[in-house]
Chains A and B, each alone.
Chain A
Amino acid sequence: MPNLTKRYPIKARDYLKAGEVSIQIQGLLKIIGFAPDFIRRVSLCAYEAEMNVVMHGGDGELTLEVDTDRVDLDVRDAGPGIEDIGLALQEGYSTASEEAREMGFGAGMGLPNIQKNSDSLDIISEKGKGTEVKIGFIA
Chain B
Amino acid sequence: MEQTHPALHYVQIDEKRCTGCVLCMKACPVKAIRVRDRGVAEIVGACIDCGECIRVCPHGAVKAITTGSDPSKLSRYTIISASPVLYAQFDEEVMPNEVLLALRKVFRYIYDQAYIHELYNVAVELHLKENRGKEGAVRPLISPVCPVVNRLIRYRFPSLLKNIIPIMTPREIAARELKKRLYCEKVFDTSEFGVYHITPCSAKMGSINYPMFLDSSYLDGALGINEVYELISKNLRDLEEDVILHRSSGVGIGWGVSGGEIAGLEDGNFLAVSGLSETIRYLEKIEMGLFENIEYFEFRACLEGCIGGPLTVADRYQAKRTVARFVRMFGHEKRLKYAQAEKAYHDGWFFNEGRKIPLAATNRKLSLSDALARQKKIEEVFRKLPGKECGLCGSPDCRTFAEDVADGQVGMERCVLLNREKTK
A27: which B residues are within 8 A, CB to CB? Answer: 284
Q: Contacts A6-B379, A33-B365, A33-B366 known; A39 to B287 CB distance under 8 Å?
A: yes
Asked if B375 CB lies within 8 Å of chain A CBs, one says yes
Decide if B288 touches A26 in the complex (CB within 8 Å): yes
Chain A interface size, as a band, is 20 to 34
Decide if B290 touches A47 in the complex (CB within 8 Å): yes
User: Which residues of chain B from 277 to 306 have any CB-CB distance to chain A below 8 Å in the complex?
Assistant: 281, 284-285, 287-290
Asked if A14 CB lies within 8 Å of chain B CBs, one says no
Decide if B288 touches A47 in the complex (CB within 8 Å): yes
Decide if B375 touches A28 in the complex (CB within 8 Å): yes
A36: which B residues are within 8 A, CB to CB? Answer: 158-159, 287
Across the A-B interface, how many residue pairs have beta carbons closer than 8 Å?
55
Q: Give the nearest-CB partner of B362 in chain A.
A: A33
Decide if A32 touches B371 in the complex (CB within 8 Å): yes
Chain A interface, DSSP helix/strand/loop, else mixed: helix
Decide if A4 touches B372 in the complex (CB within 8 Å): yes
B280 to chain A, nearest CB (A): 9
Choice from B159, B288, B365 contacting A44 with Cβ under 8 Å: B288
Q: Contacts A4-B372, A66-B372 known; A22 to B288 CB distance under 8 Å?
A: yes
Cα–Cα distance between A36 and B281 once the two chains are bound (Å): 17
Q: Contacts A2-B373, A2-B376, A28-B375 known; A33 to B288 CB distance under 8 Å?
A: no
Asked if A96 CB lies within 8 Å of chain B CBs, one says no
Cα–Cα distance between A33 and B156 once the two chains are bound (Å): 12
User: Which residues of chain A from 41 to 64 have any CB-CB distance to chain B below 8 Å in the complex?
Assistant: 43-44, 47
Asked if A93 CB lies within 8 Å of chain B CBs, one says no
Decide if B375 touches A23 in the complex (CB within 8 Å): no
Decide if B372 touches A32 in the complex (CB within 8 Å): yes
Which 4 residue pairs spanning A and B have beta carbons closest together? A36-B159, A32-B371, A68-B368, A44-B288
Besides A33-B366, A40-B159, 17 other CB < 8 A contacts? A2-B373, A2-B376, A4-B372, A4-B376, A23-B285, A26-B288, A28-B375, A31-B371, A32-B372, A40-B287, A40-B288, A44-B290, A47-B290, A66-B372, A66-B375, A68-B369, A68-B372
